[in-house]
Amino acid sequence: MMRKAYDVITSLKLTIACLAAAAVLVFAGTLAQVNYGIHIVQERYFQSLFVWWPPAGSGFKFPVFPGGHLIGAVLLINLIAAHVRRFRWGWKKLGIHLTHAGLIVMLAGGLLTDLLAVESHMRLAQGETKNYSEDQRGMELVVIDTTSDAELDQVTAIPEALLRKQREIAHSSLPFRIVVRNFFQNSRLHMVNEGNARLRPIATQGLGAQVAVQSVPRATSMDERDVVSAVIEIIPHEAGTNSLGTWLVSDALGAPQTFPYAGRTWRIELRSARYYKPYSVTLQKFTHERYPGTEIPKNFASRITLIDPERSVNRDVLIYMNHPLRYRGETFYQAGFQKDDSASILQVVRNPGFVTPYVACVIVALGLLVQFGSHLITFSRRRRGALA
Amino acid sequence: MKRWLPILVVLLAASFVARAWMPQKLPAGAADLSSLGKVSVLVGGRVKPLDTVARNSLLIIHGKQELRLADGKRISAMQWLTNVLFNAGAVDEQPAFVIHHPEVLGLFGWEQGARKNFSYQELTPFLRQIEEQGSQAEKLQSTERSSYQSAILNLRNALILYQKLKHSIQPEGAQNFIGELERFLAAVPDGGKAARQREAGEPFDQAKLEAVAEAVRRYEEMSGMAYVLAVPSRADNQWHSIGDSLLQSIGAGEIHPVVRLYAQIGDAYRSGASTQFNEHVTALRIWMEKEKPQAASRSSFEFLFNRLQPFSQSMTLYVLAFLLACGSWLAWSETLRRSASWLLLLGLAIHTFGIIARMYLQERPPVTNLYSSAVFIGWGTVVVALILERIFRDGIGAACAGAVGFGTLIIAHHLAGSGDTLEMLQAVLDTNIWLATHVVAITTGYSAMFLAGMLAIIYIVRGVFTRSLDSRTAASLTRMTYGVVCFATLFSFVGTVLGGIWADQSWGRFWGWDPKENGALLIVLWCAITLHARWGGFIAQRGLMVMAIFGNIITSFSWFGVNMLGVGLHSYGFMQKAFPWLVGFMISQLALMAIGGLPLERWRSFARAPRNQSEEAAKPVPAEAAV
């Protein structure tokens, strides 16, 4: 039994099956992007163990195909196991061994990147300074005690994932519980007015008392994103006190809302999740060059000042296309700009595994070169022998 | 005779080519439009000769680089452009605008008939309608437009281009333009004085003020409409439109010599004074050579490049070579094979010249857009196939080189319809290192994939339909296909990973599952599957061939198909028109695969031979001995 399983795991047939499954998955995942957009496809097809198919209307879903993580993992095991089993040292096998060793590094690195890399954005207006970047999709609910100190606010941040699970949230820094009444992955907000009697306000307090929320399908195009909304109820811990009511928090609400409780003023807001940094970035100047007489962009560049008191750094840096800034494990890329060129958008990436593809590429390319090169030499030698 | 035939064939072909390379003689007393065609201007962010502007504009408006009138008279692009620039009244009646779409014709109340070319004059009553419909269509993403919307938008853009060209060099309807300029220059001081007096509330000369104001209005219109930036300014080292330059003349108190020369050229052209026309054009070129020597020499060279049309010459040679190579399998084998090889070498030399010329003109690595990728894939295939021919000497490499070279150049020809193929690069592509490595490696991988597919097609077609596939040919075809698949694996893999590294350098993501990346990955995966299946003995000759043909489908999906999805970062060239062709190609490949799957008794080459001789039994091949 064990023997048989070992045979299967190390077999070339399994390799081919994995490669074929990967090809089918990649093809299907490419076509699916037309309807679902790149982000959803990435989650469903490539960064999952299975691709699920939910029949329309039913609550069930079935795994219909292995997902990217499963195929990658099986391929990785197959590669390693086959080499452990059949490894024989020999100059003639050097090319094959190098190629596969490189592929192992690449697959493992890919998995590492998928699990550990964090991508975020930093949008800076001309002259603006920030010490945080923002998640492009993930949100957080923040509850801020604004009474405490003029300089510092007490901020409690609750990630979107917790809100989505629709449960009660309590934290030692808050004198009340937050109960999530409703959660919308993507939503549209409508003002409730007397003209339209069908719309009902979604909350009892704050802006939500005049707003109705409609749940809509998730955004699919590259330049759209989900408008996350939630309805939360604030219930004080103190026994005998009543609920303070419900509030609507949403990405689409322009302004934060405040309410008084226990002699303090609390601000609540649903905003893009933030990643704070021990240093700050100030945009000095954003330039957008075009080719003369055209609208074709020639270059985008952001001149920024990087200030890091911990490491006593205070310097100007120019970030432009294909020339990112790498600093303290993070990399800043020129990613975009506001339509009227008034703000620059930098992509901030933390990827501890970023060297693996470089190493893997060199090893595999070397391996393929040795392998096919030696084929070529043997072949031409034999050919010359045949002709002579 | 047989020995000399290859040389004769090549000499004949070379003499045809040479005829095109000879400078054309100008009939005495004619206006030298080629000379005007070499003058540099700045359009679309690039300095180019007027000849290129003429060809690309006519391509956008008319769909061809030459205008053919109803009476069969041919008008060259330069003839057409010279009229548009200097004597627009004469071309307004020429049917240059091509309209195919029945709904667009219906919009004007016309029925679809034999005519598809219409003149500006005929379209004038509908300009408002076209503008309205066109700007509605423009608001949509290119993937969301219906075929009617794309067609009306194209027509609108063609009309805008035409109107812009008309205003590029002189105001509409100018007759004695140089005279107008002289009067304008003379009136400027008095007009300026009148303007200052009016501002100060003093009495002023209304007529003098209005004379200048009217001219300024005309030049402002020109400056707003200008498409061609013809005047290199010494002051700021930039190119300006003639309108801009004239507006600057008000302050400078003098008219730029280039503007003056263009005015004189136009006046001479309208009055039919060829000698004066030629003199002024020469003066303009001398001025350019003195002030902008690099631009001038580059533009002259580009003019030559345009005239030679090297890729269409290679195309003809490739198709001839393909026919000769196929013929060599039937009769006169060595003679025809050698003729084919020599023709291919000649074609390759011209092809190479074309690619190097484009690299020089653009100062870029060879592949910068879809058009140049087609040209380069053809080139790569021909080079590798000729090496195969040199090794195996059986006409197979030559046939592949001819077929794929011809096919890719035809594709390139059809991709050129959207205008300048040497366009400037978007900011993110502005890096020669990655263009030179990633893009070249990927396209070389495509070349190899198509070559492997073509070899497989030859195997199957010769095997099924002819008796010419003996076991020796079959074995050498297998070796070639296998070797080329290895080559494709190497380049596709390296190219894909280099693309990932570029992405990591540019936006911090090694891999983003973008459709173009996925397409490249599919090629690598397919190569890996093919090679492992071969090493494991799961496929033998026929299996390898069928898989190599499927490689054609995957490569065409990766090259064109993903661009048609309209999603992702690489969707730079969405082409609805190419879609049926792509589907047709894929179906044809599937059909060939089906034919390859026919039982061996149905293969004419194998019908009589016992099975074990015709196809080697499927057995595992140790990797190191696989070649």
The answer to whether A298 contacts B424, with C-beta atoms less than 8 Å apart, is yes
Is residue B623 predicted with pLDDT exceeding 50? no
The answer to whether B565 contacts A294, with C-beta atoms less than 8 Å apart, is no
The answer to whether B624 contacts A365, with C-beta atoms less than 8 Å apart, is no
pTM of the model: 0.85
Interface contacts A/B by beta carbons within 8 Å: 169
Selection from B455, B463, B475, B476 nearest residue B605 by Cα: B463
Q: Indicate if A160 and A177 belong to the same structural domain.
A: yes
Q: What is the pLDDT of residue B627?
A: 34
Q: Which of A30, A78, A384 to mutate to test the interface with B (most CBs of B within 10 A)?
A: A30
- Pairing type for strands A257-261 and A313-320 reads unpaired
CA B514 to chain centre: 26
CB of B496 closer than 8 Å to CB of B443: no
Task: Give the separation between CA B192 and CA B210, rounded to whole angstroms.
Answer: 11
CA B68 to chain centre: 21
Of A241-250, B27-36, B565-574, the one with minimum mean pLDDT is: B565-574
What are the Cα distances from residue B182, in Å, to B253, B272, B279?
11, 22, 20
* Tokens describing residue B158: 């063609």
Q: What is the pLDDT of residue A267?
A: 87
DSSP string, A198-210: T---S-SBGGGGG
Task: Give the separation between CA A293 and CA A258, rounded to whole angstroms.
Answer: 51
Look up residue B140 and give its DSSP letter: S
In this prediction the ipTM stands at: 0.83
Would you place residue B200 in the very low, low, confident or very high pLDDT band (cuts 50, 70, 90)? confident
Q: Indicate if A331 and A371 belong to the same structural domain.
A: no
Q: What is the pLDDT of residue B624?
A: 39
Q: Indicate if A181 and A223 belong to the same structural domain.
A: yes
Task: Give the separation between CA A75 and CA A15, rounded to whole angstroms.
Answer: 6
Q: Which of A274, A308, A339 is the last residue of a domain?
A: A274
Task: Give the separation between CA B519 and CA B525, rounded to whole angstroms.
Answer: 10
Would you place residue B255 in the very low, low, confident or very high pLDDT band (cuts 50, 70, 90)? confident
CB of B573 closer than 8 Å to CB of B143: no
| Sequence-ordered list of residues with C-beta below 8 angstroms from that of B485, at least 6 positions apart, any chain | B448, B452, B527, B530, B531, B544, B548, B551
Is residue B622 predicted with pLDDT exceeding 50? no
How long, in residues, is chain B? 627
Number of domains, chain A:
3
Which ranges in chain A belong to alpha helices (H)? 2-9, 12-41, 68-86, 94-116, 160-164, 356-387
Residue with tokens 């163990």: A49
Residue with tokens 């009217």: B214
Residues B269-281, mean pLDDT to the nearest whole number = 90
Nearest-CA distance B227 → chain A (Å): 8
Q: Indicate if A141 and A246 belong to the same structural domain.
A: yes
Q: Indicate if A156 and A250 belong to the same structural domain.
A: yes
Is residue B484 predicted with pLDDT exceeding 60? yes
Which ranges in B204-273 belong to alpha helices (H)? 206-225, 242-252, 257-270
Give A93's contacts in chain B (Cβ within 8 Å): 624
Would you place residue B626 in the very low, low, confident or very high pLDDT band (cuts 50, 70, 90)? very low
Task: Give the separation between CA A11 and CA B150, rounded to whole angstroms.
Answer: 53
* Tokens describing residue B467: 């008796």
Q: Indicate if A143 and A262 belong to the same structural domain.
A: yes
The answer to whether B509 contacts A349, with C-beta atoms less than 8 Å apart, is yes
Q: Indicate if A259 and A332 belong to the same structural domain.
A: no
Is residue B161 predicted with pLDDT exceeding 60? yes
Gyration radius of chain B's alpha carbons: 29
Q: What is the pLDDT of residue A149?
A: 63
Give percent above pLDDT 70 in chain B: 94
Q: What is the pLDDT of residue B143?
A: 67
Task: Give the separation between CA B280 and CA B274, rounded to whole angstroms.
Answer: 10
3-state secondary structure of B318: helix
CA B418 to chain centre: 8
* Tokens describing residue B452: 């492997």
3-state secondary structure of B538: coil
Task: Give the separation between CA B103 and CA A234, rounded to whole angstroms.
Answer: 61
- Taking CA atoms, what residue in A is nearest to B569? A222
Q: Indicate if A344 and A369 belong to the same structural domain.
A: no
Look up residue A323 and give its DSSP letter: B
Selection from B449, B575, B431, B452 nearest residue B502 by Cα: B431
Give A375's contacts in chain B (Cβ within 8 Å): 483, 486, 624, 626-627
The answer to whether B45 contacts A383, with C-beta atoms less than 8 Å apart, is no
| Sequence-ordered list of residues with C-beta below 8 angstroms from that of A232, at least 6 positions apart, any chain | A141, A163, A178, A179, A180, A181, A246, A247, A249, A268
Q: From the CB of residue B132, how many other CB atoms can be counted at a distance below 10 Å?
A: 12
Q: Indicate if A149 and A53 belong to the same structural domain.
A: no
Give A348's contacts in chain B (Cβ within 8 Å): 508
Task: Tell me the β-bridge partners of B43.
Answer: B46
How does the average pLDDT of chain B come out, rounded? 86
CB of A88 closer than 8 Å to CB of A96: no
What's the half-sphere exposure (Cβ side, CA atoms, 13 Å) at B477?
Answer: 32
The answer to whether A292 contacts B512, with C-beta atoms less than 8 Å apart, is no
Nearest-CA distance A176 → chain B (Å): 41
Q: Indicate if A301 and A373 belong to the same structural domain.
A: no
pLDDT digits (tens, 9 = 90+) for B511-535: 888 888 899 999 999 999 999 999 8
Task: Give the separation between CA B87 and CA B172, rounded to whole angstroms.
Answer: 9
What are the Cα distances from residue A227, in Å, to A124, A190, B188, B328?
22, 13, 60, 67
- Taking CA atoms, what residue in B is nearest to A99? B490
End-to-end Cα, chain A, rounded Å: 54
What's the half-sphere exposure (Cβ side, CA atoms, 13 Å) at A120?
Answer: 17
3-state secondary structure of A132: strand
Give A324's contacts in chain B (Cβ within 8 Å): 505-506, 508
Q: What is the pLDDT of residue B446?
A: 95
Task: Give the separation between CA A308 and CA A281, rounded to whole angstroms.
Answer: 9
The answer to whether B529 contacts A30, with C-beta atoms less than 8 Å apart, is no
The answer to whether B626 contacts A34, with C-beta atoms less than 8 Å apart, is no
Q: Which of B43, B239, B513 sits opposite A38 (nearest CB)?
A: B513
3-state secondary structure of A308: strand
CB of B410 closer than 8 Å to CB of B375: no
Q: Which residue has the higher pLDDT, B354 or B394?
A: B354
What's the half-sphere exposure (Cβ side, CA atoms, 13 Å) at B138?
Answer: 11
Residues B273-299, mean pLDDT to the nearest whole number = 91
Task: Give the separation between CA A62 and CA A55, rounded to whole angstroms.
Answer: 8
How long, in residues, is chain A? 388
Phi, psi of B169, deg, nearest 5: -110, -35
Give percent above pLDDT 90 in chain B: 36
Q: Indicate if A362 and A333 belong to the same structural domain.
A: no
Nearest-CA distance A375 → chain B (Å): 6
Give B538's contacts in chain A (Cβ within 8 Å): 13, 16
CB of B314 closer than 8 Å to CB of B347: yes
CB of A145 closer than 8 Å to CB of A268: no
- Segments forming the whole domain that contains residue A221: 135-274
Helix, strand, coil shares, percent, chain B, to 5: 70, 5, 25
Residue with tokens 């195929």: A71
Give A114's contacts in chain B (Cβ within 8 Å): none
Q: Indicate if A331 and A345 belong to the same structural domain.
A: yes
Q: What is the pLDDT of residue A214?
A: 85
List of chain A residues with pLDDT < 70: 56-58, 148-151, 166, 194-197, 221-223, 385-388
